[in-house]
Amino acid sequence: MSTATMTMTTAPRVRRPTRLVTTGVMIGRSLRHTVRNVDAMIMAIMLPTMLMLLFTFVFGGAIDGGRGGYVDYVVPGIILLCAGFGAASTAVDVADDMSNGIIDRFRTMPLRAMSVLTGHVVASLARNLLATGVVIGVALLLGFRPNADVLDWLGAIGVIAVFILAITWLYAAIGLAARSVEAANGYGFALLFLPYLSSAFVPTDTMPSWLQWIAENQPITPIIETIRGLLMGTDAGTRPLWAMGWCLVIIAAAYLWGSWLFARRARRN
Amino acid sequence: MTNPAIDVRSLRKSFGNQHVLDGVDLAVEAGSIFALLGPNGAGKTTLINILATLTAADSGTAIVAGHDVAEDPDGVREAVSLTGQYAAVDEVLTGEENLRMLARLSGFSAEQARARATELLTRFDLTDAAARRAKSYSGGMRRRLDIALGLVADPPVLFLDEPTTGLDARSRQALWRTIRELASAGTTILLTTQYLDEADALADRIAVLDGGRIVAEGSAAQLKARIGGELVEVRSADGVLLREIPTDGSLDSLRRVLADVAADPASVAVHVVVRKPSLDDVFLTITGAAPQSTIDAEQEVAA
C-alpha cells in the first residue's frame, strides 16, 4: 500500500453492468468452482461409471434372468440417478454462498444478486450433461444398443437437460432454505430415493399395487419413459407431456420458492 | 455541512421486540472519516447494513450520496461499497480473479477489469499472491483483498465494518494510511470500530452508539473535553487502580477530589496520579460500561 500507487488511474465511472454481463460473470464463477472442486469432478465421472457397472453386472443378471438386455432398460434410470446426485451439490454450493459474506457484497452492488443462483444452475447443467455423456459412453461399451436417430437423440438430451434444470433449481431452493451447509447436504438426500420408486430400474407392474400407484404418478416415471421411448423406441404414450409438465411445474415452483427465500434472507428478519 | 454525503434522521429498527436502533440521527460530511464507536450489540452493524441497503429500516430516513436507501436502493448501490466484518472473498478463486470478477460486475470491460485488478494487487501488496486461491491466504492478506474488492469501483462512499479486526499491527497501520489517503482524495468513509485508538487516530468525527442511540458525537478532542480536564487515579500502594475520578481541570475541583480521597479512612496508603483522559475514559463513562466506582465518582464530583 504505497502512496506512489495511490492515484486511481484505471477506475472509470461506475456503471451498472448489463444483466447479460452479470449472468455471464456468475456462470464463469460457478464453472470455475465446479472445475476446481476435484472431489465433485471425480464423483461426476466415477459415479456414472460405477453405477452402470453395478446395475449391469451385479443386479442386471438377476433382473433379466441372465438373458441380457437389462443395459438397454436401465440407461435412462442411471442418467437420472446421476443427475440427481450431481445436482444435489448445488444445494451445498448455494448454502455455502449464503453463509459467506460474498453474497452481501453482491447485494450492495447495483446488480441482480439472484444471478448467483443462475450461475450455480448453469454450472450444474454443464457438470451433469458431462455425467450423462459418461453414462452413455460406458453403456455403449457394455452393449447398450439404442435405436434412436439424430432427432431422437436431440430430444432425449433435451428432456435430460430440462430434468437437470428442474432438479437443480429445486436443490438451489433447498440450499436457500437450509440454515447451514450441512443441513443443505442432508435435506437434499431425500430426493435421491425418488428414482428407485419409479420405472427406472424395474417395470412398475412388478411392484405391490399401492406402490405402483406412487411409482406411476410421481414425476420420475414419465421422464424415464419419455427418454426410454426416444432412445429405445418404446411406446411412451402421453408421458412426454406429463414429463414436460412436471419439469416446468418443478422449475416454476422452485424458482418462486427460491426467489421468496432469497428476498426473505435478504431482509434478515 | 450544507450537503452531507450521509444524512440519517430518526432511524429505527427492531428485531422482534429488541430495539436495535432507537432513533438515530447522523450527518457525515463528504470526504470525511466518520467513526461509529460502540460496544458489541450497540447497533453499529445494523446501521451500516441499512445504509448499504442490506437491511430495511422500520422508520426514519437515510440519504446516502443523494439517494434514499428505501426509495432508490440501486442509486445508493452505485455510490457505495461495503466491506463487512467477515471477509467477503471468493475462496475458490484467486486474488486476481476475485478482483476481476468484482470489476466486471461494476461495469468495467474485460480489459479495464484486468488493468484495475493489477493496479489494486500492487497497491495492496498482493501481486505475489495474485495467482493463488484466496483460501490459502493468511488472515491479513484476506482482509487486504477484501478491502481491495471494496475499492474496485472507486465508490464515493465507503462503509467499513470493523476493518482492522484481526489484522496485525503492521497491516493495521498500512490500512489506516490507505483510509486517510482515500479520504484526502475525496472518498467519504464511515467505519465502525471497537478500538478507541483507531477512532482517535483516523476519524474527523466520532459518534458513540450505545443501546441503539447516539449518546455522544464530536471530534476526539471534543469528546475528551466532555469528560473534563484531568483524571485523578487513586492507586493502592502496590499499584492496583482503586478509583478514577474525573475533574474539570480546575484547581478547585482537583482540591475537592483530593479532599474526598483524604477523607476516606481506607485511603491512608494510596498513590494519587493525575492524567489526561483518553478516549477510553470517554467511551466507558458514556456507555456506562465503566466500573461502578468511576460512575459514582463522576456523580460525586458533579454534586
Q: Find, in chain A, the residue whose alpha carbon is nearest to that of B145.
A: A1
Q: Where in chain B is the domain with CATH 3.40.50.300?
A: 6-223
> What residue type is assigned to position B57 of the chain?
A
Question: Which of A12, A14, A101 faces B86 most closely, judged by CB atoms?
Answer: A101
CB contact under 8 A, B105 and A266: no
Q: How far apart are the C-alpha atoms of A212 and A232, rounded to whole Å?
A: 23
Identify all chain A residues contacting B18, using CB atoms and an 8 Å cutoff.
Answer: none
Tens-place pLDDT, residues A102-115: 888 998 898 888 89
Identify all chain B residues contacting A22, using CB atoms and an 8 Å cutoff.
Answer: 105
Which of B13, B81, B92, B116 should one mutate to test binding to chain A, selecting the residue with the greatest count of A CBs within 10 A? Answer: B92
Cell 438451489, located at residue? A172
Q: How far apart are the C-alpha atoms of A111 and A23, rounded to whole Å?
A: 10
Residue A4 has pLDDT above 60, yes or no: no
CB contact under 8 A, B92 and A33: yes
Torsion B114-B115-B121-B127 (CA) sign: positive
CB contact under 8 A, B154 and A14: yes
Q: Which three cell numbers stand for residue B231?
A: 483524571
B88 touches chain A (CB under 8 A): yes
A253 or B253, greater pLDDT: A253
Q: How far apart are the C-alpha atoms of B96 and B112, rounded to whole Å?
A: 13
Question: Which of A28, A33, A108 faces B53 most closely, judged by CB atoms?
Answer: A108
pLDDT band at A75 (very low <50, low <70, confident <90, very high): very high
CB contact under 8 A, B106 and A17: yes
Superfamily of domain B6-223: P-loop containing nucleotide triphosphate hydrolases (3.40.50.300)
Residue B298 has pLDDT above 60, yes or no: no
Closest CA of chain B from A42, distance in Å: 17
pLDDT band at B289 (very low <50, low <70, confident <90, very high): low
Using DSSP, how many helices (H) and how many strands (E) does chain B show?
A: 11, 13
Residues of A with CB under 8 A from a CB of B: 1-3, 5-6, 8-12, 14-17, 21-22, 25, 28-29, 32-33, 36-37, 100-102, 104-111, 266-269
CB contact under 8 A, A1 and B124: yes
Is B303 exposed, middle or buried (CB count within 10 Å of its CB: 0-12, 13-18, 19+)? exposed
Separation of first and last alpha carbons in chain A:
39
CB contact under 8 A, A16 and B78: yes
Which of A109, A114, A264, A269 should one mutate to test binding to chain B, selecting the residue with the greatest count of B CBs within 10 A? Answer: A109
* pLDDT given at position A185: 81
Which H or E run includes B62?
A: strand B59-64
CB contact under 8 A, B177 and A3: yes
B69 touches chain A (CB under 8 A): no
Q: How far apart are the C-alpha atoms of B162 and B154, rounded to whole Å?
A: 20
* pLDDT given at position B167: 80
Cβ atoms B48, B159 nearer than 8 A: yes
Domain definitions of chain A by residue range: 38-267
Q: How far apart are the C-alpha atoms of B83 and B195, rounded to whole Å?
A: 17
Question: Which of B77, B108, B152 faces A108 most closely, judged by CB atoms?
Answer: B77
CB contact under 8 A, B54 and A268: yes
Cβ atoms A197, A215 nearer than 8 A: yes
CB contact under 8 A, A266 and B123: no
Q: Going by C-beta distance under 8 Å and a sequence separation of 6 or more, which residues neighbour residue A11?
A: B116, B152, B153, B154
* pLDDT given at position B250: 79
Question: Which of B80, B92, B104 faces A25 most closely, judged by CB atoms?
Answer: B104
Residue A8 has pLDDT above 50, yes or no: no
Which of B46, B53, B54 should one mutate to test binding to chain A, selecting the residue with the greatest count of A CBs within 10 A? Answer: B54
Of residues B91, B101, B98, B132, the one with CA closest to residue A37: B91
Q: How much is the average pLDDT of B140-157?
A: 91
Tens-place pLDDT, residues A138-181: 999 998 999 899 999 999 999 999 999 999 999 999 999 988 88
Residue A5 has pLDDT above 60, yes or no: no
**What percentage of chain B has pLDDT greater than the value 70?**
92
Identify all chain B residues contacting A6, using CB atoms and an 8 Å cutoff.
Answer: 123, 181, 185
B252 touches chain A (CB under 8 A): no
Q: How far apart are the C-alpha atoms of A188 and A171, rounded to whole Å?
A: 7
pLDDT band at A1 (very low <50, low <70, confident <90, very high): very low
B186 touches chain A (CB under 8 A): no
Cβ atoms B133, B91 nearer than 8 A: yes
* pLDDT given at position B293: 35
The alpha helices in chain B, defined as continuous H runs, are: 44-51, 73-77, 95-105, 110-123, 139-151, 169-184, 196-202, 220-226, 251-263, 279-287, 292-302
Q: Going by C-beta distance under 8 Å and a sequence separation of 6 or more, which residues neighbour residue B10?
A: B23, B24, B25, B59, B60, B61
Closest CA of chain A from B29, distance in Å: 21
Cβ atoms A128, A164 nearer than 8 A: yes
| Mean pLDDT rounded to a whole number for chain B | 85
B92 touches chain A (CB under 8 A): yes
Residue-by-residue DSSP string for A28-75: HHHHHHHHH-HHHHHHHHHHHHHHHHIIIIIIHHHHTTTSS-HHHHHH
Which of B54, B74, B105, B178 should one mutate to test binding to chain A, selecting the residue with the greatest count of A CBs within 10 A? Answer: B105
Cell 447479460, located at residue? A20
Question: Which of A3, A17, A32 faces B107 most closely, judged by CB atoms?
Answer: A17
B181 touches chain A (CB under 8 A): yes
Residue B292 has pLDDT above 50, yes or no: no
* pLDDT given at position A14: 57
Closest CA of chain B from A166, distance in Å: 26
Residue A241 has pLDDT above 90, yes or no: yes
Query: Per DSSP, what are the bridge partners of residue B245?
Result: B232
* pLDDT given at position B248: 74
Of residues B75, B67, B70, the one with CA closest to residue B58: B70
Q: How far apart are the C-alpha atoms of B242 and A71, rounded to whole Å?
A: 85
Q: Find, in chain A, the residue whose alpha carbon is nearest to that of B184.
A: A6
DSSP A101: T
Cβ atoms B186, B156 nearer than 8 A: yes
CA of residue A68 relative to chain centroid, distance: 30
Q: How far apart are the C-alpha atoms of A241 and B170, rounded to whole Å?
A: 66
